[in-house]
Chains A and B, each alone.
Chain A
Amino acid sequence: MSALDVILSGTMLAQTARMTIPYGCAALGGVLSERSGVVNIALEGTLLASALAAVAASHASGSALVGIAAGVTCGAAVGLVHALLVVRGRVDAIVSGIALNLVAAGGTRFLLRALYGSSSNSPRIQGLRFGEGWGLLARTLLDPFLLTTLAVVGASAWMLARTRFGLRLRACGEDPSAAQAVGVHVVGMRTAAVALGGAVTGLGGTALAYDLHQFQAGMSGGRGFIALAAVIVSGWRPWPAAAACLAFAALDALQIVLQNQTKLPSQVLAMLPFVATLVALVLVSKRRGGPPAGLGKHPA
């Protein structure tokens, strides 16, 4: 098979779809947090922590659903900690994010040893049993995680645009002082938004682990940061962010799928998503869609 055939194959499509889920969930988590005015670079750590939580819970309980619940809850917990540090403690959001990432990276390895005695892999889990015997296309497009992610993206977009919670959330992000002046409880809203975003990211981490059927140390692989870039280039909007994630996921998949196809060293392919991110950052610099005006600001 030529390289082109491989690129256009079903495998590529399936891989892309699967990879979009963690990117997309992390990006959505970033959107929710930043639209409320809180910078969140702990998406990477959240993915990692929730992946382990999902694996550990599903391994211990034998139930995939319990694992999903654990992953989502863990994500929300990380978000909550970040929110408390930044919104209430007024710690610099980036310092908090870096620290949380450090704790997640070290903590997951620590727990890996504690629970399973390995420093790199957890035991295999079954993940979500679904679509036995179906064709590749059906299994890809009807993957529950994919469908859930799409539903959550849609729900978030709808929530931001149409509900009271969404209006107030956006107000906190655009002008926290004005929001405060008209009676919106900015601290509470921001905490809720970041925790909610963490929960969504947790879903992505769970999907990541279930996809590989185990937890591997460092398995988030920088996707949390790329997701952040997706948030920025999409103008902090759910559907465009998801689309950007699709593009990044395609690059990710390309790298895997092309590995044996070209003479390009594997490292060049591995670099692609990250270089693409830099390029994307440059391309959007002159665009209109800037960050929420109140990002990083505390109410007066």
Chain B
Amino acid sequence: MVVPDTGRVEAFGSRLAPHTPREAIRRGVGMVLQHFALVPVFTALENIVLGAEPVSALGVIDLASARRKAEAVAKELGVDLPLDATVESLGVGDRQRLEIARALFRDAKLLILDEPTAVLTKGEVLALYATLRRLADAGTGVVVVTHKMDEVRAHADFVTVMRRGEVLFTREMDRSAGADVDAQVDEVTAAIMGAGAAKPGTRDDKPEAATEKGREVVLSLSRVSVGRALSDVSLEVHAGEIVGVAGVEGNGQRELVAVLAREVHPDSGEVTGASAAIIREDRQVEGLVLDATLRDNAVLGELGTFTNKVGLLDLGALEAEAATRIARSGAGADLDRTARSLSGGNQQKVVVARALARVGAKRARALVAAQPTRGVDIGASHDIHARLREAAAGGAGVLILSADLDELRALCNRVLVLARGRIVADLPPTTSDEELGRRMLGVADPNARPEAAS
């Protein structure tokens, strides 16, 4: 699906050419992506055969033989596949098994799964690995891309660690009697979190973010649940405080932001506090109108404040406000440029400046920033951090959701950990990378009782 700039890809000993999904499938490589390539309104059987349909006369699909083969595949997998149910009626676990079945239907010899357990329950995870183990025992190669260390500990034969686009090492897990599996896992965790790796650039590491905490609560969630994404989440942000929410993407962050933005009503629990200024995760889709000018983007949604009774805009005031915000954002001075023409970092600076201006004008007492420096270069990140600190110093309560521990540690008074939709820890910023990493990756606190594991 992505053609490499340099280097080559080989499958089963020969170069993969043409470099297309179709060719890869033909060679026996099966992929199960994080976002399933399943057509929701088709049945499971239809999805399995799509693209590899057995046909009889006139191009009619031979459903009978397809069904036979699909059932054989299901038996091989050791799973029960509801072949006639529509995909949209299936739960995530079933859909995933369907994806695997589809790969095997096409005689895949190598199965690659990308973050397969991100949305599975504990029971489904066990079932999945049981299936994968069966496949592996039968001779199929299985590659699982994951960040969950408990899975690595329990199931992996080989581990490859990648960080920032590079492979660090590949190791065979020693599971012989007497081997210290925990130590091997710790080694892997350390490598992932980058302990010992040189930190690029200079960062303001002083947790000078320990600003005076006002006692007033500006934002709070009380026992909020949303579908399967958030369970029983409670948190409080006080004026002047910066609270971090650490977590690997896909653990409920989107739903958390949606609840805080008052776009989604929780199934249970409540959200209190005045409306917050939000810095959204996906700046290009929800934060900016890419083809509009910086002028328009700087005051997006606020045109009402510049409008007189007749509906005309006070262009002077709009220009002044936009200019101020863009100047303070550090994204460059030309208001006529489109947002699309800016780099990712500068785009983010605009979004941040806009949110901060609302906090500054006292229209919002709280600021929620989702992944504020993702895809942003060091210099811009630095600036954004300074702004966030300013906001807190000015009396706002700031909530930052991030997967970047350095960032959270540099900014926050305290760090919550969100894993699988629950707040599993409330730790001081001085907590070690390893400890934070463990909690984010779902590894149980070795000192805690077993039920406390996420």
Contact = CB atoms under 8 A, between A and B. Distances in A.
A171 B53 CA distance: 13
A164 B40 contact: no
Given A167-B46, A293-B40, A183 B61 contact: no
Given A182-B51, A183-B25, A171 B39 contact: yes
A184 B50 contact: yes
A287 to B, nearest CB: 15
B378 interface: no
A152 to B, nearest CB: 15
A182 B53 CA distance: 11
A184 to B, nearest CB: 5
Given A174-B39, A182-B37, A183-B51, 4 more contacts: A171-B50, A179-B50, A181-B33, A293-B40
Given A181-B1, A181-B21, A165 B40 contact: no
Contacts of B60: 162-164
A213 B453 CA distance: 81
Contacts of A293: 40-41
Interface of A: 162-165, 167-168, 170-171, 174-175, 177-184, 293
B38 interface: yes
Contact of B61 (A167, A174, A175, A182): A167
A40 to B, nearest CB: 21
B41 A181 contact: no
A13 to B, nearest CB: 35
A293 B39 CA distance: 9
B49 interface: yes
Interface size class of B (residues with CB under 8 A): 20 to 34
B51 A163 contact: no
Where chain B touches its partner, the secondary structure class is loop
B80 to A, nearest CB: 23
30 contacts: A162-B61, A163-B58, A163-B59, A164-B53, A164-B60, A164-B61, A167-B42, A167-B46, A167-B50, A167-B53, A168-B50, A168-B51, A171-B39, A171-B50, A174-B41, A178-B38, A178-B39, A179-B39, A179-B50, A179-B51, A181-B1, A181-B21, A181-B33, A181-B37, A182-B25, A182-B37, A182-B51, A183-B21, A183-B22, A293-B41
B16 interface: no
A164 B39 contact: no
A57 B187 CA distance: 80
A165, A177, A180, A182 pick with most chain B CB within 10 angstroms? A182
A94 B185 CA distance: 57
A15 to B, nearest CB: 36
A170 B47 CA distance: 11
B258 to A, nearest CB: 22
A279 B36 CA distance: 39
Contact of A174 (B36, B40, B58): B40
Contacts of B102: 182
Interface in B12-37: 20-22, 25, 33, 36-37
Interface string B43-78: 000100111110100111100000000000000000
A184 B51 contact: yes
A178 B41 contact: no
A183 B23 CA distance: 9
B3 to A, nearest CB: 15
B56 to A, nearest CB: 10
A33 B61 CA distance: 21
A164 B42 CA distance: 13
Contacts of A178: 36-39
A154 to B, nearest CB: 14
B59 A182 contact: no
Contacts of B40: 174-175, 293
B25 to A, nearest CB: 6
A293 B42 CA distance: 12
Contacts of B33: 181
Contacts of B42: 167, 170-171, 174
Contacts of A179: 39, 50-51
A298 B441 CA distance: 36
Contact of A182 (B41, B50, B58): B50
Contact of B21 (A171, A174, A182): A182
A180 B61 contact: no
Contacts of A165: 59
Contacts of A168: 50-51
Interface in B331-389: none
B378 to A, nearest CB: 31
A178 B61 CA distance: 20
Contacts of B37: 175, 177-178, 181-182
Contacts of A174: 39-42
A164 B36 CA distance: 21
A155 to B, nearest CB: 11
Nearest to A177: B37
Contacts of A182: 21, 25, 37, 50-52, 102
Nearest to A180: B21
Nearest to B58: A163
Nearest to A184: B51
A11 B297 CA distance: 64
Contacts of B25: 182-183
Contacts of A162: 60-61
A49 to B, nearest CB: 30
A241 to B, nearest CB: 18
B23 to A, nearest CB: 9
Contacts of B22: 183
Contacts of B61: 162-164, 167
A164 B55 contact: yes
Which 3 residue pairs spanning A and B have beta carbons closest together? A182-B51, A183-B22, A181-B37
A184 B46 CA distance: 14
